[in-house]
Structure 1
């Protein structure tokens, strides 16, 4: 079963990798492993990875965070991952002031804030998944993709999964939630409803056993694991 993966990079980072020593994740290897556990007949067709460039002025480690992201992207590309960039939008806004979780938010008590949003990623993933499904009508049997796997817990993707299930009933749709052991999150019901299967947790042992070597060969200089990772 030839499988195409569509990965929300920020979802993966903050759901699986932040605050862990496993940021140098061999994503292709991990995804192939998960798909094989679900169906031993699965084989890798493609991996599309969607992210946005880090803004150094807002990152914890400044320019080092941007350099680390760039290095990781180089390692992914060297392993046949197709990387797509969206953008971050930073603009002034207002938000209700937080007092206590038992006290409701009020627009009458707002503060000026900087609002940072990742733009274009969700739409890009949705369109890419749907277009991949459409293309299967014109490819040869040996090139045909039978399974699409979303790697994200974002419920904004539910309409795209629903459309694929309705318009291409022969296509298998899987979801890998970027949620590691110990994080308490309820599986999003809307994604469950429109998928044939869902991997709900990725274990620490799985993250640990699917890491890139410290030096990943590329067509130019090797991608070297950042020191603080």
Structure 2
């Protein structure tokens, strides 16, 4: 989006509620290995028409250090949904720090896991008042400090003149007071990106009313185009978890066939990621997202193995 010639770009910083983003866009998808810089710098911000108080269209330009403040909390192993949840999250955080040192700042809260007494809804009398309902002891799992951290940091950056525009990625009404203060006490533009796909969550009305502009969703195509490289180099390379692919079960089956041929896991992945002339120039890694595609890749590998075996038997 082009602004008026001669006008300065809006110095922009993104504030992401990692919990909201994960559960709104990424859970149960193959897009968890998300390149946050690419998503906002190449996809989201260029799609937004931002006007200043005089009605002039302005370009949004990410600040260099940091461009994004990512608010998250380390998963507690005792409540993790998968065996590799803790290690996979840690690997993702490491990848972001390695690839975007200085551009992405991780701000950590924490998970609180506590036993507490709660009232249960009586199925036979769903309209019964809570005071008349049975009590049970249950686990309560809450992410702590992220909302407060987002509010404080966004307001601090706005009031100190560090930014011309804050872009908040959440649908949580708890940060509404901070946005109201930014609007009341500064000239900073406020953008809201609702972390959902295909309009699955309605934008929070209070947040939307406090924003200068609202992006109501993030598309699956945008998420797919904004993925980190499988391997982030370094003294110890950081590799995308295999459980984060679309169909880890199908990927494992194809890898079992490809690794003995290619020699090792890394070489097998390199082969999977290249277009293959014998597979209509498709990348095998994309094909193993469906059972039909995985079968085609497996059949090709098995056919190649059979052909090699036949060649070796020829005197």
TM over 0.5: yes
Q: Determine the structure 1 residue equivalent to 2:140.
A: 115
Hey, what does 1:140 align to over in structure 2?
none
Mapped pair 1:48 → 2:72: no
Residues in 2 aligned to 1:6 and 1:101: alpha-carbon distance in whole angstroms = 44
Distance (whole Å) between structure 2 residues aligned to residue 192 and residue 222 of structure 1? 41
Question: Is the counterpart of residue 165 in structure 1 residue 186 in structure 2?
Answer: no
Answer yes or no: is 1:12 the counterpart of 2:35. no
Going from structure 1 to structure 2, the CA distance change for 1:146 and 1:98 (only over 3 Å counts) comes to same
Instruction: List aligned pairs for 1:174-193, cutoff 5 A.
Output: 174-181=191-198, 183=200, 185-193=201-209
* Cα distance in 1 for residues equivalent to 2:196 and 2:110: 24
Q: Unaligned regions of 5+ residues in structure 1, if any? A: 137-143
Residue pair 2:159, 2:182 contacting (<8 A) in 1 also: no
SS of equivalent to 2:130: coil
Q: Normalising by structure 2, report the TM-score.
A: 0.66
- With over 3 angstroms needed to count, the CA separation of the structure-2 counterparts of 1:182 and 1:124, relative to structure 1, is closer
Distance 2:17 2:141 in 1: 17
Structure 2, gaps ≥5 residues long: 1-9, 50-57, 245-315
- The equivalent residue for 2:276 is none
Structure 1 runs (4+) deviating above 6 angstroms are none
3-state secondary structure, aligned to 1:66: helix
- Answering whether residue 85 of structure 2 is matched by residue 60 of structure 1, we say no
Matched residues in 1 for 2:125 and 2:17: separation?
Answer: 33
1:227 is aligned, of 242, 257, 264, to 242
Q: Is the 8 A contact 2:38 2:226 kept in 1?
A: yes
Q: How far 1:134 moved relative to its partner?
A: 2.0
Q: Normalising by structure 1, report the TM-score.
A: 0.89
Q: Is the 8 A contact 2:199 2:217 kept in 1?
A: no
2: distance between equivalents of 1:34 and 1:201? 10
In structure 2, the residue matched to 1:141 is none
Partner of 1:77: 97
Shift of 1:222: 2.4
Pairs within 5 Å for 1:114-153: 114-136=139-161, 145-153=163-171
The structure that has the greater radius of gyration is: 2
CA RMSD of aligned residues (A): 1.8
Matched, 1:106 2:130: yes
Say which structure is richer in strand: 1
Matching residue of 1:139: none
Q: Are the structure 2 counterparts of residues 181 and 100 from structure 1 closer, same or farther at C-alpha, using a change threshold of 3 Å? A: farther
The 3-state SS of whatever aligns with 1:228 is helix
Greater relative contact order structure (CA < 8 Å, 6+ sep): 1
What secondary structure sits across from 1:117 in the alignment?
strand
The CA deviation at 1:99 is 4.6
Normalized per residue, the structure richer in helix is 2
- In the alignment of these two chains, the number of paired residues is 218
